[in-house]
Every structure is written in C-alpha cells, then in structure tokens.
C-alpha cells in the first residue's frame, strides 16, 4: 500500500482485497484458503441464547458451582 493506506480502510471491499493479498503472499493460495475456511459468521442470536440459557441463575450460584468443581480437582 502507498502513503494513503488509511483511505483503503474506509472501504470494506478494499480492506478484504488487501487482506487476502497479504494472506496469499505469506501462505500461498492453498494456505490462505485453509486459513479462511477456519472462520464463519455463525448463526443464531448469541445474546438471546445466552439469556435463555442463564435465565434464573445468579452470579452467586455460578461462583458456588465453580468453587465446587475446583474443590473436586
């Protein structure tokens, strides 16, 4: 990139292109492909799922359970 590199970071498409270029330069095409396959955007709503999972559980209960597990070790 040239001296106006910060301008590139305002465009997600240009950032993606520069990032892929850097990966290919360092890892080769196959390595860059393997690296990219490790990541996904995921699915669902993490916040809603977490709220549902932890509904009715207090922080004190979580700490108590963690201490019990630790004591068993």
Tens-digit pLDDT profile for residues 24-57 = 999 999 999 999 999 877 888 999 999 999 999 9
CA distance 18 to 24: 10
Sign of the torsion formed by the C-alpha atoms of 41, 44, 48 and 53: negative
Q: What is the CA radius of gyration of the chain?
A: 22
The pTM for the full model equals 0.45
């Amino acid at each position: 990139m040239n001296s106006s590199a910060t301008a590139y970071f305002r465009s997600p498409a240009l950032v993606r292109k520069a990032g892929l270029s850097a990966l290919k330069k360092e890892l080769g095409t196959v390595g860059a492909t393997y690296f990219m396959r490790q990541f996904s955007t995921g699915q669902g709503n993490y916040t809603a799922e977490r709220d549902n999972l932890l509904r009715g559980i207090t922080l004190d209960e979580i700490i108590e359970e963690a201490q019990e597990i630790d004591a068993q070790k």
